[in-house]
Structure 1
Amino acid sequence: MSRQTASRRSLRALDAANLFLADVRDGIGPFLAIYLLASHDWDAGRIGIAMSAMGIATLIAQGPAGALIDRVQQRRLVTAVASGTIGLCCILMTWFVNLPAIVFFQALMGVAAALIVPGLTAITQGLVGYRGLARRQGRNEVFNHAGNIVAALLAGLLGHFVAREWLFYSVALFALASVISILLIREHEIDPELARGARLADETSPVNESGLVMLLRQPALLAFSVATLVFHFANAAMLPLAGQTLSAGTERGASLYMSACIIVAQLVMIPVAHLAGARADRWGRRPLLLLAFAVLPIRGLLYTVHDAGWWIVAVQLLDGIGAGLIGVLTVLIVSDLTRGSGRFNTAIGAVAVAHGIGAALSHALAGQVVAALGYDAGFLFLAAVAALALVFVVCCVRESMPDRGCPSPATLPA
């Protein structure tokens, strides 16, 4: 299949979309709890219901969202509408502050957020092809992490010095900027077959297979999904538990230390993501994947050494390595394993469901361990799960990059 090289305008617009969507796809996040408690005196029970609505909706919608992105031709428009929906909901939540309305808006944002990741990955692969995907995905993650830093700083400053409502308006502004950026990508430069991981334009690929059936029929994809689930099972609760140890102890300025944890991790993720994108085709996916999994049990153990704020921040640097690598490798490995199937985004959605399940289990079970045995036991529990995840990857997850037995790059859509 012949295709045009993506123009500078489209690639720069993709950079901007990744920068602005970093804030948009998570919605208002933990700042919602601060707003509802401090500005409207909500109790913890209602806040918990409101906070969980977006995550539950995203988890339910993730699989169908990936399948939809595989089926539609206007992937750029779908992604832009999803981003705009989140921005609009953020504004409406400042107008209608009651439990049914907040839950509805959070759920709608969750469904929209489920469309953004597969939509963006489809656009990326459709623009640059298989051969350019590793380096481009590394660049996407660099702009994503930079966007997280900018958004965190902006939200903190606006919420503190202006008004808490501006936490919501800042997300809406980022959403508007992301919509403009996405629409600046030239539609005709997005190869529709590459965007869904199909072979050639004149070949047909199955489009009626669910994400679950696809996982069960492809052992390599199933193994990677299980590895993803266990990784996030071990990872998701680590930082929240670290924040609780700071708040429960005698350390002053716990909130400042937590902000520092988030920012330093994102700063590390930027060069790590760049390195992963630049070296994944040369070194292969598996060595980088093993490194991502190897740092996680070490991080869990180090949290038990000291509960001082400076130590927690230092340990959090390791999260930048693991998360920086996983963000790039997930897209590359799924692309490798679905090449020619036409179900690239369906598989992305299925792996995202595994991510969500792992994170939910992490918070639920680690919290129970901490309640019964204390924070050190909680970190040791997560470190043990991380060690099991590493063993699983060593034994069950193989190199996914096409080897010499696969068609040469010249015969694949580039």
Structure 2
Amino acid sequence: MQGGVGPYLTVFLTSARHWQAGPVGLAMAVAGFAAALCQIPAGLLVDATRWKRLLIAAAALITAVSCLLIVSFEGVAPVLAAQIMLGAASAVIPPALSAISLGLVGRKRLPGRISRNQTINHCGSFTAAALAGVFGQYWGLHWIFYFVCGSAVVSALALLLIRPGEIDQNVARGSEDGSDGPPLGLISLLTCRPVWVFLASIALFHFGNAAMLPFAGQVMALSHPGKGTVTLSACVIVAQFTMMLVAWAVGLAMRQGVGNKAIFMIAFAILPVRGILFSWVEAPLAIVAIQILDGIAAGIFGVIAIVIAADLTRGTGRFNVLQGMVALAVGIGGGASNLVGGYVVQLEGYRTGFLFLTAIAILALVFFAAFMPTSSRQSRGQSQSQSQYPSRGRSPDRPRA
């Protein structure tokens, strides 16, 4: 359900509704803008409310209603309204799930819980991609929307299995256990050096990453006409399967005492390799194989970014706000990647475009390695509790990753 209908909406609107490219692009852009605008407000809402299960259930039901709007009405306005709703719902679900996880298991066991969350998440995405392909092939594209709608309803019902009394609401928003004080001011959070270094690193990471697969798909469509859709579907499935395995492996590495920064460095180091490989290959099988690298990097990112956010906001009450900022940084980096990279390709060609993204990826790696503080897994729960913000009247020691 969380993956939504984005990958299939363009095909549905083009083939079933016979929309022109302009309105299709507008519909896709509206969802992205809505998601970006809602990221930080969603984080603030998740931090402020004790009804986190209800938030996820509401987002799931909004997703279901949006899918029904798209299938039931043919006009532009209902589709745009549905896309705005889908974008807003997508901003709520990840921070609310992470907050519930933190409130259920506590900070010490959060890395293992997030690792399992992401493993199950990618398993769901992998299965959903396969089932959506079957539904679309044999029963029609509109059944993909009914499938997502059904998944949303089941997701809302599954929340009943979580006992609300077992969620520590203070811990769930990043405060210390037993603390019910006011959260840290947003200015103090943003001016904390490790926080903005972390956000800048994420923006650079996605600046160098986001446009690689779309460019590879365009190259493949030009060099191997007729194979683009099948190959891109294979890329999604291969990447999701890889992410599932990597998310599990990251949890194992953290339990063995490997530091967050060291694990995250692997994801940063993979991007330049992937860009160089894409600049030299055009064969569909080679492109699918390169997506294994994307699965490794994305699998690491999905786990470590949440764990680092929890570390940086310990005792601040701003865990979910920082998650919203992370999602916004992802959107900014991804948008810049497609926008700037697209013009580089238009002016200089695809190979130069890939090499440009490779250079950005190298910059991201160097920036993160040079400026992001280092921490060890063994110190969790001890030295991490001394990650302080001067504006709270505490010691000036910096929060660590």
TM-score of the aligned structures, taking structure 1 as reference length: 0.90
2:363 matched to 1:352?
A: no
Instruction: Give the aligned partner of residue 20 of structure 1.
Output: none
2:246 matched to 1:263?
A: no
2:317 matched to 1:342?
A: yes
Instruction: Give the aligned partner of residue 178 of structure 2.
Output: 201
Q: Which amino acid aligns with 1:55?
A: G
1:35-184 to 2 correspondence within 5 Å? Answer: 35-184=12-161
Change (3 A) 1:236 1:95: same
Structure 2 residue corresponding to 1:272, chosen from 242, 246, 253: 246
* Structure 2 Cα separation of the partners of residues 80 and 31 of structure 1: 23
Q: Which amino acid aligns with 2:139?
A: V
Q: Which amino acid aligns with 1:234?
A: G
Instruction: Give the aligned partner of residue 216 of structure 2.
Output: 242
Q: Is the 8 A contact 1:336 1:402 kept in 2?
A: no
* Structure 2 Cα separation of the partners of residues 404 and 140 of structure 1: 23
* Structure 1 Cα separation of the partners of residues 6 and 126 of structure 2: 14
Q: Which amino acid aligns with 2:230?
A: L
2:304 matched to 1:333?
A: no
* CA apart distance, 1:41: 0.9
* Structure 1 Cα separation of the partners of residues 314 and 28 of structure 2: 37
What do residues 277-322 of structure 1 show as CA deviations (whole Å, max 9, x unaligned)? 1222511101101111000010000011210001111111100110
* Structure 1 Cα separation of the partners of residues 379 and 27 of structure 2: 51
Q: Is the 8 A contact 1:134 1:278 kept in 2?
A: no
Q: Is the 8 A contact 2:311 2:384 kept in 1?
A: no
What do residues 304-344 of structure 1 show as CA deviations (whole Å, max 9, x unaligned)? 12100011111111001100000000100000010111110
Aligned-pair identity in percent equals: 40
Change (3 A) 1:70 1:371: same
Change (3 A) 1:332 1:410: closer
* Structure 2 Cα separation of the partners of residues 155 and 181 of structure 1: 21
Secondary structure, aligned partner of 2:128: helix
2:279 matched to 1:304?
A: yes
What do residues 16-54 of structure 1 show as CA deviations (whole Å, max 9, x unaligned)? xxxxxxxx2332112111111101110000000011111
* Structure 2 Cα separation of the partners of residues 193 and 109 of structure 1: 29
Q: Which amino acid aligns with 1:249?
A: S
What do residues 199-224 of structure 1 show as CA deviations (whole Å, max 9, x unaligned)? 132441326x33xx254321101101
2:201 matched to 1:227?
A: yes
* CA apart distance, 1:404: 4.9
Change (3 A) 1:400 1:336: farther
Q: Is the 8 A contact 1:286 1:399 kept in 2?
A: yes
Structure 2 residue runs without a partner (length 5+): 388-401
Instruction: Give the aligned partner of residue 293 of structure 1.
Output: 268
* CA apart distance, 1:248: 1.1
Instruction: Give the aligned partner of residue 340 of structure 2.
Output: 365
* Structure 1 Cα separation of the partners of residues 307 and 380 of structure 2: 19
Q: Which amino acid aligns with 2:298?
A: A
* CA apart distance, 1:363: 0.9
Q: Which amino acid aligns with 1:278?
A: L
TM-score of the aligned structures, taking structure 2 as reference length: 0.92
* Structure 2 Cα separation of the partners of residues 272 and 135 of structure 1: 13
Q: Is the 8 A contact 1:80 1:183 kept in 2?
A: no
* CA apart distance, 1:180: 1.2
* Structure 1 Cα separation of the partners of residues 322 and 114 of structure 2: 17
Change (3 A) 1:214 1:269: farther
Structure 1 residue runs without a partner (length 5+): 1-23
Q: Is the 8 A contact 2:271 2:361 kept in 1?
A: yes
* CA apart distance, 1:368: 0.9
What do residues 165-222 of structure 1 show as CA deviations (whole Å, max 9, x unaligned)? 1111111011111111122211111110111010132441326x33xx2543211011
* CA apart distance, 1:136: 0.9
Change (3 A) 1:409 1:125: same
Change (3 A) 1:406 1:153: closer
What do residues 77-113 of structure 1 show as CA deviations (whole Å, max 9, x unaligned)? 1111111111111011111221111111101111111
Q: Is the 8 A contact 2:217 2:228 kept in 1?
A: yes
* CA apart distance, 1:411: 11
